[in-house]
Amino acid sequence: MVKMSGDTIESLIRERRKTEKESKLLQAQIDRLEAEKLEKDDEGTLEALSSQIEKLSFEKREKAKKLKDICRIARTISAGD
């Protein structure tokens, strides 16, 4: 039982790291688009950039929820519940 629990924790840690990395990449994309948005003055381009930023922000929020769930599961397993 302890080995199974340890393997599960290790896979959760790998998943957490992957999710954190994906979240950082999303934030970098959002930052790049925000900077690009400041340089543009075409209404159509601004709307397209805003739409992309909103989509990426949603994905980032979903990653944050996933990360929270991963941490909750790991705490539960390590507590033995």
Question: Containing domain of residue 7, as a range?
Answer: 2-79
The number of folded domains in the chain is 1
What does the alpha-carbon distance between residue 77 and residue 52 come to, in Å, rounded to a whole number? 38
Cα-based torsion angle of the residue sequence 8, 12, 14, 16 in order, rounded to the nearest 10 degrees? 180
Residue 40 DSSP code: -
Better-scored residue on pLDDT, 36 or 42: 36
Q: Is the Cα torsion angle 27, 31, 32, 33 positive or negative in sign?
A: positive
pLDDT given for residue 50 in this prediction: 94
| Total Cβ atoms within 10 A of residue 21 | 11
pLDDT tier at 49, thresholds 50, 70, 90? very high
